[in-house]
Every structure is written in structure tokens, then in C-alpha cells.
């Protein structure tokens, strides 16, 4: 199973070979991501990222909803209070 994480595009750079790289914000973390597959992506939009590649542009509401679910899941431990 693969998991793509939504992130907000903070900036986009293009190198001498015309490869687009984006600075993507995932909560408090910022990573460099290959933007080749989403030429329509712009600063401020949200993209789904898997294995260092932005795969799709998604709307802000969908991104915020998914990020909220991740934050909620982070509150739970892998075991419950009984240690099961």
C-alpha cells in the first residue's frame, strides 16, 4: 500500500535542466520535492506527495481535511491503555 501526503507549495525553482523542484510544507516540516508531474502547480496550492514526487494538485479543503485526520491519528498510541 502506498500513502501520499498533502503538503502546501511554498516555492518552486527550476534548475538548468528545466527540472522543477518545490519547497513543500508538511505541518512544521519543509521538504524539497520533484514537481515534474504537476506542471500546473503554483505557490500556495496543495499537492499530494509520495516518494519525493508531487503527484496531483488537490484542493485546499481536501488537504486540510486529510491533514486533520493525520493530526488526530498522531494523538493515539499503537497500544491502548491495557497494553493490548
Q: In the chain, count of helices (H) and strands (E)? A: 1, 5
Q: Which of 15, 16, 11 is nearest to 30 (CA)?
A: 11
pLDDT band at 82 (very low <50, low <70, confident <90, very high): low
Q: What is the pLDDT of residue 10?
A: 97
81 found inside a domain:
no
Q: In the chain, how many domains are there?
A: 1
Report whether pLDDT(81) > 60. Answer: no
Domain containing 41 — which CATH number? Answer: 2.30.30.140
Tell me the per-residue pLDDT of 8-53, one tens digit each, with 9 for 90 and over.
999 999 988 888 999 999 888 999 999 999 999 999 999 999 999 9
Average of pLDDT values for 61-75?
A: 86
Which range marks the domain in which residue 39 is found?
Answer: 5-74
In a domain, 19, yes or no: yes
Amino acid at each position: 500500500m502506498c500513502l501520499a501526503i498533502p503538503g502546501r507549495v511554498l516555492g518552486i525553482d527550476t534548475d538548468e535542466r528545466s527540472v522543477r523542484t518545490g519547497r513543500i510544507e508538511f505541518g512544521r516540516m519543509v521538504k524539497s520535492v520533484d514537481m515534474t508531474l504537476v506542471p500546473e502547480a503554483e505557490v500556495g496550492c496543495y499537492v499530494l506527495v509520495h516518494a519525493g514526487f508531487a503527484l496531483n494538485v488537490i484542493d485546499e479543503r481536501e488537504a486540510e481535511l486529510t491533514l486533520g485526520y493525520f493530526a488526530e491519528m498522531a494523538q493515539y498510541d499503537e497500544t491502548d491503555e491495557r497494553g493490548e
